Structure 1
Amino acid sequence: MTSILMVCLGNICRSPLAHGLLESKLPPDSFYVDSAGTANYHIGSLPDQRSIAVAKTHGIDISNQCGRQFNVSDFDTFDYIYVMDHSNFENVLKLARTTFDIAKVKLLLDFDTTSQIKEVPDPYYDKISGFETVFELLDNATNFIANQLLR
């Protein structure tokens, strides 16, 4: 089984959306998708209500996800680690033990060749429209990733 981890800062806004989107595009018998945050702010918390609402309007239920912090053992568990922005990318790389660990870590939007935006903005302090924008960015990027993984 191929395992994929989506990572943002708090694991309540961006990575839960990316997790739900990619999970909805891949067969569950062949792929495992999860999410985590680099910070410990929201361990055990549900995704932000605005993320849940935006996902729901697009037919995706992320309300059962639970916030957790990225840890070194994630390098052993996951084949691919997709990070939302440069800051979190650097935070994940600081925990890498080997070049094999480093090779697993990618910026999520690098896979959307149609986008000029290379970091998923954090919508936490934004209105629901910011969450919709993030959803659209993540939807496009996860389409590219799913297509690549399903080849």
Structure 2
Amino acid sequence: MAAILLICTANICRSPMAEAIFKAKLGEMFKTIASAGVHADPRGGPVDARAAAALGRHNYSLDRKWRSRRVEPEQLGQYDLVLAMEAEHVDALRKKAAPEHHARILLLTDFVPELAGQDIPDPYFGPVAGFDAVIGMLERAAGSLQMAAREGRLKFA
């Protein structure tokens, strides 16, 4: 069983939503599912209230003790897959990671044929509906990743 780290910018919207969705849908397939942010506040903070509300509307939740965290370079070798929300995150993470860990750092949408190569949009500065749209994209990504794992198409670096 593999470990997955989900990455966004501040670890308060997209990656915690992905963490909740992936735990609900893939928790039995992966030993660890966690999230972090490239630029998260090092003191940690709660999930964005709009993200938490959107998760609730879709019957997902995070642990009450959940706090945001910044990804550290040594963590990039501790996870079998590091899945980023944006191509910019992939680039930033590969700059932090040892070269032997670059292959495990991927764009999350690369597992979703109809979304391959696209960024998961950041809903932070947009309307509340953006959070629901992101949840739909994350659900598709979880389903595609689940299918890839079941079919043996996941290759861990």
- The TM-score, its normalising length taken from structure 2, stands at 0.87
1:73 aligns with 2:70: no
- Sort the Cα spacing of 1:86 and 1:27 in 2 relative to 1 into closer, same or farther, 3 A: closer
Quick check: 1:39 aligned with 2:29? no
Percent identical pairs in the alignment equals 27
Q: Which residue of 1 aligns with 2:131?
A: 131
Query: How far apart are residue 124 of structure 1 and its match?
Result: 0.7
2-structure distance, mates of 1:55, 1:7:
17
Partners of 1:29 and 1:124 lie apart in 2 by: 30
Report how many aligned residue pairs link the two structures.
150
Structure 1 moving runs of 4+ over 4 Å? none
Please report how far the alpha carbon of residue 116 of structure 1 lies from its aligned counterpart in structure 2 after TM superposition: 6.6
> For residues 140 and 26 of structure 1, what CA distance do their matches in structure 2 show?
12
Offset at residue 111 of structure 1 (A): 1.0
- C-alpha distance in structure 2 between counterparts of 1:17 and 1:70, whole Å: 16
SS in 1 for 2:114: coil
Alignment of 1:50 onto 2:82:
no
- 1:88 Cα deviation after fit: 1.1
Cross-structure match for 1:90: 91
- Assess if the C-alpha contact under 8 Å between 1:10 and 1:42 holds in 2: no
Offset of residue 114 of structure 1: 2.0
Maintained 8 Å contact 1:11/1:42: no
What letter corresponds to residue 12 of structure 1 in structure 2?
I
**Cα displacement (A) at 1:67:** 0.3
Q: How much is the aligned-residue C-alpha RMSD, in angstroms?
A: 1.8
Q: TM-score, normalised by structure 1?
A: 0.91
CA distance in 1, matches of 2:83, 2:146: 13
Assess, with a 3 A threshold, how the Cα gap between structure 1 residues 60 and 112 changes in structure 2: closer, same or farther. Answer: same
Post-superposition Cα deviations, 1:92-119, rounded to whole Å, max 9, x if no partner, equal: 0110112x31000010011110237710
Distance 1:34 1:116, change over 3 A: closer
| Unmatched runs of 5 consecutive residues or more in structure 2 | 152-157
The separation in 2 between residues aligned to 1:7 and 1:59, in whole angstroms, is 22
Contact 2:13 2:47 in 1 (8 A): yes
Q: Is the 8 A contact 1:8 1:14 kept in 2?
A: yes
